[in-house]
Amino acid sequence: MPLPEMPPVGGVQIATDRAGFYKHERKDVLLMKFAEGTTCAGVFTRHTIGSAPVDWCKKQLDANEGQDIRALVCNAGCANAFTGKLGADAARRTASALARRIDCRQRDIMLASTGVIGVVLDDSKIASRLYDLEKNLRADAWHDAAQTIMTTDTFAKGASEVAEIDGVKVRINGIAKGSGMIAPDMATMLAFIATDATLAPGVLQSLLALFTRTTFNSVTVDGDTSTNDTCLLFATGAAGAPRISRAGDKRLADFKTKLEAVMHSLATQLIRDGEGATKFVKVNVTGAANPASARKIAKSIAESPLVKTAIAGEDANWGRIVMAVGKTEEPVDRERLGIRFGDLVAAEHGAVALNYSEAAMSAYMKNSELEISVDVGVGRATAHVYTCDLTHGYISINGDYRS
């Protein structure tokens, strides 16, 4: 999947390099430098064994309340997760080394890592590349950035939009990585989004949290949440748009639409690149008792190995959908349960549809993009979750991950 055009975002400079976290020749460290006064917000994994860089970012964002963030450094090839004090020290030294080079405080540096869990980050590899990284900073390196943070990804992921705030055009660019261990709960998912709008940290945090729910928290490849899931949103203020201090400000209407579009694009690209995936699937749940119930049912369908392998085999086995709905123990009216594959009705009123056609269902399942819709008949709440099929390719990739 080709990257879209990603013009520069005012106040953002980018550089990439090879630090040597991989045996083969590839870039694996990213530096993003931001203009003075840049604000930042973040959402992170709820995994109980969060990584050292996740701990670092959460602590520093609290310390400076999202103000004056000057840089992000991200490495691929080592997650620096489940590494105890040694990993925390490595993260701190990384931030300290970069802070000295660009003349800012340690707490003004954000960190992210992705790769193998249980290996302490060799921060000297990053420190040794900081001079060249700073020397090579440029505004038009978004594509390089997207490629550098990849691990098992088969394509780099990016999105870009232009919004208008009170008559001033502002740009929003975002990149992400992730292919497996994807079930963000805020996989191994990283996402970095930057805009040249002028937004207070509280506004950024409100918008990021709001749209994360409908984007990054509504996708799943395998149901496994990473130790390192991180999404950071930066606002440099370089476009000269008026400062917005309230998330409810009407002048943000277009910006909100475009920000959600960027995040939605990145999130669905994660699914399109699911490890071993051949099908992109949208799961819709309607008629649920409440939004939480709808979401739980949708994720149960989307994460079921039996459902996902049936999709891989192009088998419209709607009985597996029934199984995935019922095992949640959420409120369901069995006599009103309905299931559709695309526009084709598989089940209605709690039984197989009278006009059910196996031939039509089989033909539909050959599509690369599928939609499964379930109405559970007890209320008005809805949810949408995006997923992919489960193939032998997933086993091959993860069986050989450390080999």
Cβ neighbourhood burial of 59 (10 Å; 0-12, 13-18, 19+) = exposed
123 contacts 21 by C-beta, under 8 angstroms: no
188 labelled ligand-binding: yes
48 labelled ligand-binding: no
224 contacts 129 by C-beta, under 8 angstroms: no
Q: Which of 38, 94, 188, 220 is catalytic?
A: 188
CA-to-CA separations, 92 to 21, 105, 112, 210, in angstroms, rounded: 18, 12, 12, 30
Query: For residue 320, how many other CB atoms are within 10 A of its CB?
Result: 19
Which stretches of 196-324 are assigned E, i.e. beta strand? 230-235, 280-288
Active site residue 188: yes
170 contacts 213 by C-beta, under 8 angstroms: no
Cβ neighbourhood burial of 58 (10 Å; 0-12, 13-18, 19+) = middle
Tokens representing 340 are 């559709």
275 labelled ligand-binding: yes
Q: Which residues make Cβ contacts (< 8 Å) with residue 276, sequence separation at least 6?
A: 390, 391, 392, 393, 394, 395, 396, 397
328 labelled ligand-binding: no
Question: Looking at the chain, how many residues does it have?
Answer: 403
Distance CA 20, CA 35 (A): 29
Which residues are tagged catalytic?
188
- The binding site for substrate consists of 151, 177, 188, 275, 398, 403
- The binding site consists of 151, 177, 188, 275, 398, 403
